[in-house]
Amino acid sequence: MKHKIAPSLLAANFMNLQKEIEMINASEADWLHLDIMDGVFVPNISFGFPVIESLKNHCTKPLDVHLMIVEPQKFIPEVAACGAYMMNVHYEACIHLHRTVAAIKEAGMKAGVTLNPHTPIALLEDILCDLDMVLLMSVDPGYGGQHFIEHSVDKTARLKEMILRQGTDTLIEVDGGVNMETAKRLLEVGADVLVAGNFVFRADDPKQVIRDLKDL
């Protein structure tokens, strides 16, 4: 399967969201990545459901929603109502992860589980078979434009091994500090989906950058 690119709207120009969505629609992006932050789970607040509601009928790409919030299970109906394709919850924010994953699927979405950089992949051994995707954070979540944590390449490789060993079809998405150089190394070790915020939206020609990332 050809890898997917999911530009992160966090780095977009919010004064001109319509233009940014039109750029995404016209690009080779596979998904649009949406970062919801609550100022509790992460030390920052981004945007919430009204923003996603207002763009959902204009964006032609599947919505990949990344919830950096405590108690994400409380908002499954709201995320589903936003038309999300994938709902990603943090492992660190879920006590009853199996129940939450089942509820996400029940609501008609794909289920992704996100790991902070310091959270070992071994903690997913007993739930991997139920996951559509694992989202590996390659920066501490909360802000765009941070420096890529090198260890993420080795972590991606080990997660790929675990997926092959268990024979699941779980996707691996990596988020944070993705650029042409880190993207290449992540794809070599088995990443399926790459999130890119600043590298795409702050470029002179974002569509070309997306095309370049797709061509890797």
Q: Can you give the binding site for Zn ion, defined by CB under 5 A?
A: 35, 66, 175
What does the alpha-carbon distance between residue 44 and residue 108 come to, in Å, rounded to a whole number?
29
Residue 10 interacting partner from ligand DX5, Zn ion, none (CB closer than 5 to 8 Å by kind): ligand DX5
Nearer to ligand DX5, 168 or 202 (CB): 202
What does the alpha-carbon distance between residue 3 and residue 10 come to, in Å, rounded to a whole number?
21
Q: Where are the beta strands (DSSP E) in 91-186?
A: 110-115, 133-137, 171-175
Nearer to ligand DX5, 72 or 176 (CB): 176
Minimal CB distance to ligand DX5: which residue? 197
189 with 172: CB under 8 angstroms? no
Three-state DSSP state, 93:
helix
List CB contacts of 128: < 8 A, sequence separation 6 or more: 134, 162, 163, 166, 168, 170
Nearer to ligand DX5, 132 or 173 (CB): 173
Active site residue 175: yes
Residues near ligand DX5 (CB under 6 A): 8, 10-11, 33, 35, 66, 139, 141-146, 175-178, 195-199
Nearer to ligand DX5, 44 or 73 (CB): 44
Residue 87 interacting partner from Zn ion, ligand DX5, none (CB closer than 5 to 8 Å by kind): none
We find the least distance from the C-beta atom of residue 17 to ligand DX5, in angstroms, to be 15
We find the least distance from the C-beta atom of residue 166 to ligand DX5, in angstroms, to be 26
The length of the chain, given as a count of residues: 216
Of these residues, 30, 35, 38, 64, which one is catalytic?
A: 35
Active site residue 35: yes
115 with 137: CB under 8 angstroms? yes
Of these residues, 30, 38, 175, 192, which one is catalytic?
A: 175
We find the least distance from the C-beta atom of residue 26 to ligand DX5, in angstroms, to be 20
What does the alpha-carbon distance between residue 190 and residue 165 come to, in Å, rounded to a whole number?
14
End-to-end CA, the chain: 13
We find the least distance from the C-beta atom of residue 1 to ligand DX5, in angstroms, to be 22
Catalytic positions: 35, 175
